Amino acid sequence: VPLLAWEFYIGGYQPAQKWLKDRHGRTLNLDDIRHYLNIVTALVETDRLMKEIDQIGVH
């Protein structure tokens, strides 16, 4: 998991960490892993878009 996604906050929560903590002690199946990868991808993309929007505001 990229550090960026791992440390990303939304509304006081760190979704990448919380999702795994909520499933602690449980064996993840393939669908769980795919879902988690989608979450991580969404967090990385959200950060990229936020930075892009910030750059638009600068110019």
pLDDT in tens, 14-55: 999 999 999 999 999 999 999 999 999 999 999 999 999 999
Query: Whole-angstrom Cα distance, residue 41 to residue 12?
Result: 19
d(CA 31, CA 35): 6
Model's pTM, two decimal places? Answer: 0.88
**How would you class 19 by CB atoms within 10 Å of its CB: exposed for 0-12, middle for 13-18, buried for 19 or more?**
middle
What's residue 15's pLDDT?
99
Domain that residue 26 falls in? 3-58
Task: Say how far apart CA 3 and CA 57 lie, in whole Å.
Answer: 26
For the cut 70, the answer to whether the pLDDT of residue 59 exceeds it is: no
Q: How many domains does the chain have?
A: 1
Whether pLDDT at 5 is above 90:
yes
Is the per-residue pLDDT at 57 higher than 90? no
